[in-house]
Structure formats: structure tokens, C-alpha cells
């Protein structure tokens, strides 16, 4: 993997800085190694309105959605104890290789072509026959009963993982599939079960095509492996069955292939809740270097989810959880865009471990109805009670009662904690990264946060608009010093925590914390105090927008750090250079105040206007 560093550093005449800049502590920008993220922005349809009712408590299902659950369809005649024990466990060695791969392909309806095509046909036939057996329920007396195909019944969850691993991340993609497949020593399941299906689309380096896998639990022993172990393997060494196989370029773009996979997955594996995981390189909203193209840009991603939401879900319900297993993918611009179509967005604003999310423990949480999350909140309640804080203890228990009934919210709350625990020195990824060539320093830079899209759109965006209006009024409070104040604010930007992507993003929470001090910097300015109050209100709302966040110790020095990036240039030159990438985003065009111009667009035009 190649890494690039930008040696250019802007210098300014610090003798001209006001008391505002002297108040801010200089924090050097750390240039980090990271997964890369895709290409430039092209015109695409944008909607400034949400397509699903944010105020609605219950969501409708699309017209094609089944009316019966798979559990009732498959095991309605069996006692409860049999239902709970009947889980997916696909012994690949026994079922596929012995029963199918050792037979004459022509007897199973497969032509003798090249070895790869013949193998694909046989593996898909094995999966089809396995499902037929599963879909034929069994009555108490042992008689077979008519049942339903998987696409004609629904489960609690369907998780669709789009893996773009046709690059240096290939062995880590196999490692993550290995984590998804392997069960726990106590028998708990990590892969697909009666309550959820995990479907992976894998585009790997050197693979002759794109595989779609239905992740089942395997009987293989789970133990920490070295990355070299997976460098010697291919996707065919995994234990989950092949559902479908596509030619490498079966559609004309990565965006089209992503939309096709998610649309296909939702209809083939209906569920009450849908989770989409985008796995690969990341660089944020946009990357200028076309040589780094490896997946969807932020704009293409937003348009992809729009298409899925409108054409597949018929604009009747949101996608429950969108998770970016990639670097630099948690920011206000992207989260605002995706909040039109998703309830919760989770991801990192900084670098991400090459090994990705802790899939094994994460999927266990889903299968166990968030058992560990419940235990953690109950322990918190006990600790608060012992410290004489009964109100906080009650709040922790009340939170658990809410999350038990709202599993997408439980996902958003528990995932940052699981990432943090895995990256700790005693965690699985923490121990692996010490001996890995994938980026062992990742745990020192990691951030991971979840964003509630509804609260973001209905509460935080209006508060941030009020802040922008207050900042503009501050600049014009003394017209003679307008450009001087603008320079003061520009000179203060480099001291804010920066996430090194192709675009200049700062951390939102700590920036709001700094703006709360503006009144102290300008004690004679009434408008500076208005800015401070507006920043305080936005900061409080941000706490509700981010239900869960974890980050490494290096960020503890930034008060109110919430691990959410946003675009904030430090000079007119940077503003002009980046404007094309942001001028059409929902956040930059948001106008809930119904002013003549959107608040942030109006502020930046004034803030970065060069003095005549």
C-alpha cells in the first residue's frame, strides 16, 4: 500500500493574532496513514426533503414485504425449545464438498466448463438444496409440511456487507469473514441464525468475479491468526455457502453494483430491520486523487441509498443502520445526507484498524438481543446507586428498557463500545495490531461514533444554522473591523483538531467548545456573547445526536470531543479550492430558518471574502 504525505504547511504572521488566538492552545496536526476513499463528485439528483416521516414512530413496510416470519413459517408445528435450537449451522466440508463437489457435475445440472465455473455452479446448487431442506418444516410427528422460501418470510435482521477488497485489504476481508463465521466455545452463534441473516458481497484481489456469501456458523476453531495466514487463502477457503456469483464487471460502475447487491439482498432476505455495512478504503466525503478510487464517493453513496430507499423500500421506511467500516467516514456532511434515508449512521472520523469492526462480538450481541449491553447498563446503574446518584442509576436502567424495544438504537449505542474494547491492549484487535503490518498505530488514533439521523435533522442542524447567523452578526458588529475579525477566526482554525483527509475537516464538538469562549476573547462585544450562547445550545444538542462515542486517549485534551468531522477551511484559498465539493450538500444548503440564503453558505461567503 502506498502512503502519501502533504509536506505543505501554511504559515501566518502570528504577531497579528488577537487575544482569541492566544487563548487557543496550539495542537499540531498529525498526518496519519489511512485507508483511501474514492472519487470526484459528479452531478446527481439531490433532495432537500426527507422521504420518510421523521415524526412517525411506526414505519410501514413496502408492498412486496412478506406477512409471516420465517420462524412461524418453518417451525410453526414444533415446540418452543426446538425452535430456539434450530439455528443455521452449515458444515461446508460435509455438505458441499462431500455431497456435491465429488460428484459428476452433469448429474447435478452443471455443465463441465472451466474449473471455476463448474465449482460455482455446484456450490450454488448445494446452497439451493440446503435451503429447500430448511424451508420444508417438520411437524411433531416427523411428517414433512409445506413451508415457505426465505424470500417469502421475514426475520428480525438482515445485514448486508459490501466488501470492496480488490486491493491491499484483501487478506483482512477474509479475516473478517472468518470472524463472522466462527462460533464461541460456549455455543453462542456469531453468523446467521433464525433471527438474522448475514450476507456478504466480496470483491477480492485476484478473484475471478464477485461472490455473494450467506454467512453461516462453522465448526472451525476460533483463535488469533497472523495476517500471513489469510494472505495464503482465497474466499473459497471460507466455510459459508456461495449464494450467487457475478462477473467482475457485470455492471458498469461500483455504484450500480452496490445498489444491485443491496436491492437484491433486501428482497431475497426480507427483515424487520436492515443494516448496511460498507467495507473498504475511506477518505471522507470526497477524494480528488482519481488514482485512489476504490469505492463509492460520499455523494455516490448518498445517491445509492436514495435509489434503494425509493425503489426498493418504496419510501415507506428508512434503512435502520448504516455502518462505514472505513476511515474518515463520520462527518456532519455525510451524516446529514444519509439521515434522509437512514435512522443511524456509525463510523470513524479518523483512521480505522485494517482488521475492521469486531464482527464476532458484534454479531453475538445481535443474536443475544444485546445481552452484554444490558449487563453494562445494569452495572452502571449499580455504580451510580453506590455513589449516591439514584437519578443517574434510574436513567441507566430506563435507557436499557428503551433499547430493548428499539434494536437499531441498541446497535448505535453498543457498536462504539465494542470497537473500543476490541482495540484496547487486552482486546482482540489490540493484541493483533501489535504484531500486524496493517497499521498497529491505529488504536492510538481511533474514533468511533454513532449519529441519530432524526435528531441531527430536526434539532442539531437548526441549532448550527443559528450559530452561523450569530457568527455573521459578530463579524458585522463593528464594520470597520469586519475583515480583522474574519482573519482572527481564520487564524484560530489551525488550532482545532483536524482529521487529515483530502478535504479540511475539523472536529465539531471541540470547535463548539472553543466558540463558547468567544465572549471572553471580546469582553466588550454583545454579539460575541450571543455566539457563545448559540455554541452552548448546539453543543447540548450534539450530545443527543451522538448517543455513543469512544475515542483514544490522545483526544481527551479536547473538551466536548464527539468524534464528528465537518468542513472548515482556514483561508480564502482553501475555501475556493473545496467549495465545489460542498456547495450542493444538504448541510450547506439547509435553510430551516427560511432566510434569503442558507446560513452556513452565507457565513462562509462573508468569512472568506478577501479584503479589497
At 158-174, the pLDDT tens digits run 999 999 888 888 889 99
Contact assessment for residue 504 and residue 567, using Cβ atoms and an 8 Å cutoff? yes
Measured CA to CA, the distance from residue 509 to residue 560 in angstroms comes to: 5
Q: 258 and 360: one domain?
A: yes
Q: 434 and 315: one domain?
A: yes
At 525-535, the pLDDT tens digits run 999 999 999 99
- pLDDT the model gives residue 14: 33
284 within some domain: yes
Highest mean pLDDT out of 2-6, 279-283, 480-484: 480-484
CA-closest candidate to residue 33, choices 556, 495, 441: 441
At 493-505, the pLDDT tens digits run 887 777 665 567 8
- pLDDT the model gives residue 3: 28
583 within some domain: yes
Q: Is the dihedral of CA 570, 574, 579, 581 positive or negative?
A: negative
- pLDDT the model gives residue 281: 84
- Chain centroid to CA 495: 28
Contact assessment for residue 384 and residue 366, using Cβ atoms and an 8 Å cutoff? no
Measured CA to CA, the distance from residue 97 to residue 122 in angstroms comes to: 9
Mean pLDDT of the chain: 80
Measured CA to CA, the distance from residue 426 to residue 411 in angstroms comes to: 23
What is the count of structural domains for the chain?
Answer: 3
Tally Cβ neighbours within 10 Å of residue 596: 6
Measured CA to CA, the distance from residue 358 to residue 429 in angstroms comes to: 8
> What range defines the domain where residue 343 resides?
155-370+430-453
Average pLDDT over residues 477-490: 92
412 within some domain: no
322 sits in which H/E element: strand 319-325
342 sits in which H/E element: strand 342-347
Residues 6 or more apart whose CB falls under 8 angstroms from that of 489 comprise 20, 471, 475, 607
Measured CA to CA, the distance from residue 403 to residue 491 in angstroms comes to: 44
Q: Which three cell numbers stand for residue 224?
A: 488469533
Q: 100 and 162: one domain?
A: no
What totals of helices (H) and strands (E) does the chain contain, helices first?
25, 12
Query: Whole-model pTM above 0.75?
Result: yes
Q: 279 and 299: one domain?
A: yes
- pLDDT the model gives residue 137: 55
Q: CA of 313: how far to CAs of 161, 175, 262, 263, 553, in Å?
A: 18, 32, 11, 9, 41
Q: 126 and 166: one domain?
A: no
- pLDDT the model gives residue 325: 92
407 within some domain: no
Q: 146 and 170: one domain?
A: no
CA-closest candidate to residue 530, choices 471, 482, 461: 471
553 within some domain: yes
45 within some domain: no
Q: 361 and 507: one domain?
A: no
Q: 359 and 480: one domain?
A: no
- Grid cell 462585544 is found at 525
Q: Which three cell numbers stand for residue 215?
A: 454467512
Highest mean pLDDT out of 207-211, 218-222, 456-460, 608-612: 456-460
Distance spanning both ends of the chain, measured CA to CA: 46
Q: 252 and 226: one domain?
A: yes
At 387-431, the pLDDT tens digits run 999 898 888 898 889 888 999 999 999 999 998 888 877 777 777
Q: 266 and 333: one domain?
A: yes
- Relative to beta strand 271-279, strand 319-325 is parallel
In the listed set 150, 166, 190, which residue is the last one of a domain according to the structure?
150
Classified as helix, coil or strand, 92 is helix
392 within some domain: no
CA-closest candidate to residue 51, choices 311, 260, 425, 291: 311
Q: Is the pLDDT at 480 greater than 50, yes or no?
A: yes
- pLDDT the model gives residue 91: 54
What secondary structure, in 3-state letters, does 222-242 show?
Answer: CCCCCHHHHHCCCHHHCCCCE
Give bridge partners of residue 165 from the DSSP assignment.
Answer: 204
Q: 305 and 325: one domain?
A: yes
Measured CA to CA, the distance from residue 312 to residue 306 in angstroms comes to: 10
In the listed set 124, 150, 176, which residue is the last one of a domain according to the structure?
150
Measured CA to CA, the distance from residue 104 to residue 503 in angstroms comes to: 56
Measured CA to CA, the distance from residue 432 to residue 437 in angstroms comes to: 10
Span of 103-107, 385-389, 563-567 with lowest mean pLDDT: 103-107
In the listed set 110, 130, 150, which residue is the last one of a domain according to the structure?
150
Measured CA to CA, the distance from residue 263 to residue 255 in angstroms comes to: 12
At 202-238, the pLDDT tens digits run 988 877 788 899 998 776 777 767 888 888 887 777 7
Q: 437 and 473: one domain?
A: no
- pLDDT the model gives residue 310: 95
- pLDDT the model gives residue 396: 86
329 within some domain: yes
Q: CA of 602: how far to CAs of 222, 504, 589, 593, 612, in Å?
A: 56, 19, 10, 13, 19
Amino acid at each position: 500500500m502506498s502512503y502519501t504525505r502533504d509536506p505543505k504547511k501554511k504559515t501566518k504572521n502570528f504577531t497579528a493574532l488577537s487575544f482569541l488566538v492566544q487563548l487557543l492552545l496550539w495542537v499540531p496536526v498529525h498526518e496519519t496513514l489511512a485507508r483511501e476513499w474514492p472519487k470526484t463528485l459528479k452531478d446527481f439528483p439531490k433532495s432537500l426533503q426527507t422521504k420518510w416521516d421523521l415524526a412517525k414512530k411506526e414505519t410501514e413496510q413496502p408492498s412486496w414485504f412478506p406477512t409471516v416470519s420465517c420462524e412461524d413459517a418453518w417451525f410453526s408445528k414444533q415446540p418452543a425449545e426446538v425452535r430456539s435450537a434450530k439455528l443455521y449451522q452449515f458444515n461446508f466440508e460435509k455438505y458441499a464438498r462431500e455431497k456435491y463437489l465429488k460428484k459428476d457435475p452433469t448429474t447435478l445440472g452443471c455443465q463441465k466448463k472451466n474449473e471455476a465455473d463448474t465449482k460455482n455452479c455446484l456450490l450454488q446448487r448445494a446452497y439451493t438444496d440446503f435451503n429447500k431442506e430448511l424451508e420444508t418444516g417438520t411437524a411433531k410427528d416427523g411428517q414433512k409440511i409445506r413451508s415457505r422460501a426465505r424470500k417469502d418470510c421475514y426475520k428480525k435482521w438482515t445485514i448486508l456487507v459490501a466488501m470492496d477488497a480488490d486491493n491491499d485489504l484483501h487478506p483482512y476481508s477474509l479475516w473478517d469473514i472468518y470472524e463472522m463465521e466462527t462460533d464461541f466455545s460456549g455455543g453462542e452463534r456469531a453468523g446467521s441464525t433464525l433471527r438474522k441473516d448475514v450476507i456478504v458481497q466480496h470483491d477480492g484481489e485476484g478473484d475471478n468475479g464477485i461472490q455473494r456469501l450467506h454467512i453461516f456458523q462453522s465448526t472451525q476453531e476460533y483463535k488469533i491468526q497472523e495476517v500471513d495466514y489469510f494472505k495464503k487463502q482465497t474466499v473459497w477457503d471460507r466455510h459459508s455457502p456461495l449464494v450467487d456469483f457475478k462477473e467482475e464487471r457485470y455492471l458498469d460502475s461500483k455504484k450500480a453494483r452496490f445498489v444491485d447487491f443491496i436491492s437484491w439482498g433486501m428482497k431475497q432476505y426480507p427483515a424487520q430491520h436492515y443494516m448496511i455495512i460498507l467495507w473498504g478504503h475511506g477518505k471522507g466525503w470526497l477524494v480528488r486523487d482519481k488514482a485512489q478510487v476504490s469505492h463509492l464517493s460520499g455523494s455516490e453513496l448518498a445517491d445509492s441509498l436514495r435509489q434503494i430507499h425509493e425503489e426498493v423500500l418504496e419510501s415507506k421506511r428508512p434503512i435502520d443502520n448504516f455502518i462505514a467500516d472505513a476511515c474518515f467516514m463520520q462527518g456532519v456532511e455525510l451524516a446529514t445526507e444519509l439521515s434522509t434515508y437512514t435512522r443511524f449512521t456509525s463510523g470513524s472520523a479518523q483512521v480505522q484498524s485494517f482488521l475492521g469492526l469486531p464482527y464476532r462480538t458484534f454479531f453475538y450481541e445481535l443474536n443475544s438481543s444485546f445481552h452484554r449491553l444490558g449487563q453494562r447498563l445494569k452495572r452502571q446503574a449499580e455504580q451510580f446507586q453506590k455513589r449516591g446518584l439514584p437519578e443517574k442509576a434510574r436513567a441507566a436502567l430506563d435507557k436499557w428498557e428503551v433499547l430493548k424495544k428499539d434494536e437499531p438504537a441498541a446497535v448505535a449505542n453498543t457498536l462504539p463500545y465494542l470497537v473500543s474494547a476490541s482495540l484496547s491492549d487486552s482486546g482482540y484487535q489490540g493484541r493483533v495490531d501489535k504484531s500486524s503490518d496493517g497499521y498497529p498505530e491505529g488504536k492510538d488514533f481511533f474514533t468511533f461514533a454513532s449519529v441519530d439521523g432524526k435528531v441531527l435533522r430536526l434539532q442539531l442542524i437548526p441549532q448550527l444554522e443559528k450559530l452561523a447567523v450569530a457568527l455573521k452578526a459578530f463579524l458585522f458588529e463593528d464594520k470597520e473591523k469586519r475583515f480583522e475579525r474574519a482573519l482572527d477566526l481564520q487564524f484560530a482554525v489551525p488550532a482545532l483538531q483536524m482529521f487529515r483527509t483530502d478535504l479540511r475537516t475539523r472536529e465539531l464538538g471541540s470547535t463548539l467548545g472553543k466558540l463558547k469562549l468567544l465572549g471572553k476573547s471580546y469582553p466588550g462585544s454583545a454579539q460575541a456573547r450571543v455566539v457563545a450562547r448559540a455554541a452552548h445550545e448546539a453543543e447540548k444538542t450534539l450530545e443527543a445526536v451522538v448517543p455513543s462515542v469512544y475515542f483514544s486517549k490522545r483526544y481527551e485534551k479536547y473538551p466536548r470531543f464527539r468524534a464528528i468531522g465537518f468542513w472548515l477551511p482556514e483561508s480564502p484559498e482553501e475555501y475556493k479550492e473545496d467549495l465545489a465539493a460542498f456547495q450542493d450538500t444538504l448541510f450547506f444548503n439547509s435553510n430551516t430558518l427560511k432566510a434569503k440564503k442558507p446560513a452556513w453558505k452565507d457565513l462562509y461567503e462573508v468569512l472568506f471574502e478577501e479584503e479589497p
